[in-house]
Amino acid sequence: MSSDPVVTPAKCPAVLRTGTRIGIDLVRVDRIAESMRAFGDRFTRRIFAAGELSDSTLDGRLDAGRLALRFAAKEAAIKAFDLSEAGIGWSQIELTGWDGAGGRIRLHGRAAEAAARLGAYDIAVASSQQGGLACAIVVAFPCARERGPSAVVCDNKKAEVTLHD
Amino acid sequence: MTDNASLDARIRNVLAQHGRLAQDAATLADAADLYQAGLTSHASVNVMLALESAFDVEFPDQMLTRSVFSSVAAIRGALTQLIPA
């Protein structure tokens, strides 16, 4: 019995024929903690937006696990939107409103501009954390609605992306 | 030791300390792909911060690309733009 081979339509970034874009990243929590120890505020302020730092603070201290989850989400978004050569700061990609099951990714500045050039997308972000690892997946579906670069492009309750100028 | 050789040695020292490469940073070819050698996106952040400390420079956002940290040669090219003559 023979069957046609299954061939992925694109190598990198992961873009399906439908235009759906996918990015995933896996981060070791202990490595994030090492960066915090080695570089202190230079690491956290360079990588994370002020809101992310606030959301990642537990009992007055930054939590490496929460930061790892956010770092993974940023990298997943970079892969989904093919931003690795866009020349953007990590803090321009912000995970907000994370409730343990879902949240929103907000793109600022050049990150927003680069993503907007690809068109409007409904975007979902999911994450998991276990065994000292934090994983995030971003899936972006082409959105037929005409919306500007500052518009909210996702109506999903749990995952919403807002593009900011 | 020429300036370029000194620059290379300091870059490779940073890579050895923060790159978590699967290969010896001291013997990597100038153009060898650091990501193929094991550099992760998170380790590239550490390398960037360590380079900033070592050379007293700051990478502007527009230089924060995958290709800038893709090889010793690419890092050297970026640093020569940032280090005052």
| pLDDT value of residue A2 | 52
Give the DSSP per-residue string, chain A.
---PPP--S-SSSEE-TT--EEEEEEEEHHHHHHHHHHHTHHHHHHHS-HHHHHHTEETTEE-HHHHHHHHHHHHHHHHHTT-TTS---GGGEEEE---SS--EEEE-HHHHHHHHHT--EEEEEEEEEETTEEEEEEEEEE--S---TTSB----SS-EEEE--
Q: How many percent of chain A have pLDDT more than 70?
A: 78
Please list every residue in chain A whose beta carbon sits closer than 8 Å to the beta carbon of residue B46.
35, 38-39, 43
A44-76 pLDDT per residue, tens: 999 999 999 999 999 999 999 999 999 999 999
DSSP category for residue B61: G
Distance between A71 CA and the closest CA of chain B, angstroms: 8
Distance between B81 CA and the closest CA of chain A, angstroms: 16
Residue A130 reports pLDDT greater than 80: yes
Judge whether B64 is closer than 8 Å to chain A, CB to CB. yes
Whole-structure pTM value: 0.85
Mark yes or no for CB contact B42/A90 under 8 Å.
no
| pLDDT value of residue A51 | 94
H or E stretch covering B50: helix B41-55
Mark yes or no for CB contact B61/A110 under 8 Å.
yes
**Residue A152: band (very low, low, confident or very high) from pLDDT cuts 50, 70, 90:** very low
Q: Which of A33-47, A101-115, A123-137 has the lowest mean pLDDT?
A: A101-115
Judge whether B56 is closer than 8 Å to chain A, CB to CB. no
List the domains of chain B with CATH numbers. 3-82 (1.10.1200.10)
Distance between A28 CA and the closest CA of chain B, angstroms: 9
Mark yes or no for CB contact A47/B45 under 8 Å.
yes
| pLDDT value of residue A149 | 41
Judge whether A44 is closer than 8 Å to chain B, CB to CB. no
**What's the whole-number mean pLDDT along residues B17-21?**
97
**Residue A13: band (very low, low, confident or very high) from pLDDT cuts 50, 70, 90:** low
Q: Quick check: A54 and A109 in contact, CB under 8 A?
A: no
The CATH architecture assigned to A14-163 reads Alpha-Beta Complex (3.90)
**Residue A3: band (very low, low, confident or very high) from pLDDT cuts 50, 70, 90:** low
Distance between B29 CA and the closest CA of chain A, angstroms: 23
